[in-house]
Structure 1
Amino acid sequence: MPTARSLLDRVHRAAESAREVTDHPVLEAVARVGLVAYGAMHLLIGWLALQLARGARDTDADADQTGALHAVAGSPGGRLLLWVIGVGMLSLAVWQAGEVLLWWHGLLERERWRRAAYVCAKCLAKAAVYAVLGVTAVLFAVGAEYEADERLRELTSQTLRFPGGAALVLSVAVAVVGVGVYTLARGLTGGFMRDIDLPAAPDRWEPLIAATGRVGYVAKGLAFALVGVLLWQAGSSADVSTATGLDGAMTAIAAVEAGPRLLTGIAVGFAAFGVYALARACYPDRDPSS
């Protein structure tokens, strides 16, 4: 029977082998394509939000990720572009998740396990976001389109029918608000710059990267926090019409008295995040601890 030590050694060797795969230059190159797609999607979301702020939005194009993919699908060569986006985003998810292979052994060390757990959770969360976007793009590429807001309302309605469903919806709402606050904090503190390979980036570009990232993260944080607030309203009132995603949050902003001006600022912020993501594609660093 193998001892615990020998089993651990095998796990270490397997992790090292997997790490070599996720460090392969080809995977990183395709992951860069995913980062370019990620940036372009945010530029499109910014444009769609600006149209909503001006009151001139196409009703078929939501100001969110699915709306951006709809816009891509309707462009010349859209089906091919969707496949490129899907493959790129899925590769980006694998590349990002590969950072866990460097940190997981810290979970076995008493002095480092909290830090290692935090870093691993952050890497996996990022990878999950990229993977969802990649799968969504592939679904659009094969013609299986859907609206994120409608799907969220359906899931919320189904959840509320079960015992304890309201508590679950409220818990998810709190988590979404937490993500928004965390994103906002990253923008205010400049923590997002850890995702940029600063030694490789020209010094003259660092202020621009920092400025666009700061504006982008603050705008995204505010928008996602509002998504959580609207979901909380749905859970506490059982009115699923308020359960909505990013497009619904944009629409809610536009509906207030100063909404068009506020939404214009959010739109600029999402576009700024797109520029930051494009800069990250040029100088990527997946290590959130650096």
Structure 2
Amino acid sequence: MPPVPAAQPLVHRLRDLVDRVRRVTDSPWLTHLARAGLIAYGAMHLLIAFLALRMALGLRGADADQTGALLTVAAGPGGEFLLVAIGLGMLSLALWQAAEVLLWWHGLLDPEHRVHTAVVCAKCLAKGAVYGVLGLTALLFAAGFEYEADERLRDLTEETLLIPGGALLIGTVAAGVVAVGIYTFVRGCTGGFMRDIDLPTAPDRWEPAIEALGRIGYLAKGIAFGLVGVLLGRAATAADASTATGLDGAMTAIAGVDAGPWLLGGVAAGFAAFGVYALARARYPDRDPSS
């Protein structure tokens, strides 16, 4: 019992420190950099859509995934400069998004809200991690270190299958990827993504268009990521790394079925819609992760 009074001021001091740090992450300059990251994120999806459409038309080029989009940027005029700008913008976006944990963390101390707070904090950190990985990848590409995501995933899967319990580990990761795909698809169905838009500042006439683009984009991404998880799960059950693939491999699998080009064209349109939605989010950003 005696330690409780001493612990109380410590909690208050910790809250004050966290509040001061969060005020830094709320600064206008970081918000502007995060907006630049959202613009880069949207442009990346537009490039993925373009590469997927080329695949649907039977034309091959860079992989229709994030690394393929970055390689396309690298090959263009001012590629290194653009990659550095994309990388810094995405890292700022990662910090801006992950910093929401500083707003919610104290809920972990409340038994009644602990589970909800843990879910919200996990979503903040997961979004921040995705943006951060993309930012670091862009900076690595700017420095001349290039790789293709599909090949790297296949190599990692093959190496993991060689260790005891490797297949189980890959199966667990595959289940997680499928869960992300389902979550993304459901978010598209429910429209929960609109909480990432600062609706009071967005013109009312644009809200239906933003919501329609977001729905199409989230549904397409959910299908693509779910298929990535299924293909990775096949690699785990068959102990065959050749079936492990990323987003480009999922696009290739879609193209290989009956009416594949038409289906892939639809997925490409979905990624393009998500890209435009991300640009709208850059114009009216809100990082509220409570949904």
TM class, shorter-length: over 0.9
**What SS is found at the alignment partner of 1:69?**
helix
For 1:79-135, what per-residue CA distance to the aligned partner results, in whole angstroms no more than 9, with x for missing partners?
100000000000000000111100000111122111111111111110010000000
Q: Which residue of 1 aligns with 2:68?
A: 67
**What SS is found at the alignment partner of 1:3?**
helix
Q: Which residue of 1 aligns with 2:7?
A: 4
* TM-score, length-scaled by structure 1: 0.97
Distance, in Å, in 1 between the alignment partners of 2:242 and 2:256 is 15
Alpha-carbon shift at residue 5 of structure 1 (Å): 2.0
1:153 aligned onto 2:147: no
AA aligned opposite 1:236: T
Distance, in Å, in 1 between the alignment partners of 2:146 and 2:233 is 27
* TM-score, length-scaled by structure 2: 0.97
Distance, in Å, in 2 between the alignment partners of 1:123 and 1:211 is 24
1:21 aligned onto 2:24: yes
Alpha-carbon shift at residue 183 of structure 1 (Å): 0.1
AA aligned opposite 2:249: G
Distance, in Å, in 2 between the alignment partners of 1:129 and 1:226 is 19
For 1:174-230, what per-residue CA distance to the aligned partner results, in whole angstroms no more than 9, with x for missing partners?
000000000000001101000000000000000110000000000000000000000
Q: Which residue of 1 aligns with 2:190?
A: 189
Distance, in Å, in 1 between the alignment partners of 2:244 and 2:137 is 20
Distance, in Å, in 2 between the alignment partners of 1:39 and 1:3 is 49
Alpha-carbon shift at residue 8 of structure 1 (Å): 1.6
Q: Which residue of 2 aligns with 1:232?
A: 233
For 1:56-85, what per-residue CA distance to the aligned partner results, in whole angstroms no more than 9, with x for missing partners?
122xx0000000001100111111000000
Q: Which residue of 2 aligns with 1:133?
A: 134
Q: Which residue of 2 aligns with 1:35?
A: 38
Q: Which residue of 1 aligns with 2:220?
A: 219
Q: Which residue of 2 aligns with 1:206?
A: 207
AA aligned opposite 1:99: E
Identical aligned pairs, as a percentage?
68
Distance, in Å, in 2 between the alignment partners of 1:184 and 1:142 is 35
**What SS is found at the alignment partner of 1:116?**
helix
Distance, in Å, in 2 between the alignment partners of 1:26 and 1:243 is 41
Distance, in Å, in 2 between the alignment partners of 1:79 and 1:27 is 23
AA aligned opposite 1:26: W
Number of residue-to-residue matches in the alignment:
288
Distance, in Å, in 2 between the alignment partners of 1:11 and 1:187 is 38
Distance, in Å, in 2 between the alignment partners of 1:112 and 1:174 is 27
Compare 187-196 and 110-119 and name the one that shifted more. 110-119
Distance, in Å, in 1 between the alignment partners of 2:187 and 2:133 is 22
Alpha-carbon shift at residue 4 of structure 1 (Å): 2.1
Distance, in Å, in 2 between the alignment partners of 1:80 and 1:264 is 31
Distance, in Å, in 1 between the alignment partners of 2:211 and 2:233 is 33
Distance, in Å, in 2 between the alignment partners of 1:160 and 1:168 is 9
AA aligned opposite 1:170: G
Q: Which residue of 2 aligns with 1:111?
A: 112
Runs of 4+ in 1 over 6 A off after TM superposition: none
> Gapped runs of 5+ residues in structure 2?
none
AA aligned opposite 2:208: P
Distance, in Å, in 2 between the alignment partners of 1:71 and 1:166 is 34
Q: Which residue of 1 aligns with 2:256?
A: 255
Distance, in Å, in 1 between the alignment partners of 2:239 and 2:233 is 10
The two structures, once aligned, show a CA RMSD in angstroms of 1.1
Alpha-carbon shift at residue 7 of structure 1 (Å): 2.5
Q: Which residue of 1 aligns with 2:163?
A: 162
**What SS is found at the alignment partner of 1:145?**
coil
For 1:127-149, what per-residue CA distance to the aligned partner results, in whole angstroms no more than 9, with x for missing partners?
01000000000000100011101
1:241 aligned onto 2:242: yes
**What SS is found at the alignment partner of 1:62?**
coil
**What SS is found at the alignment partner of 1:288?**
coil
Alpha-carbon shift at residue 288 of structure 1 (Å): 1.8
Distance, in Å, in 2 between the alignment partners of 1:154 and 1:246 is 15
Distance, in Å, in 1 between the alignment partners of 2:73 and 2:165 is 40
Alpha-carbon shift at residue 18 of structure 1 (Å): 1.1
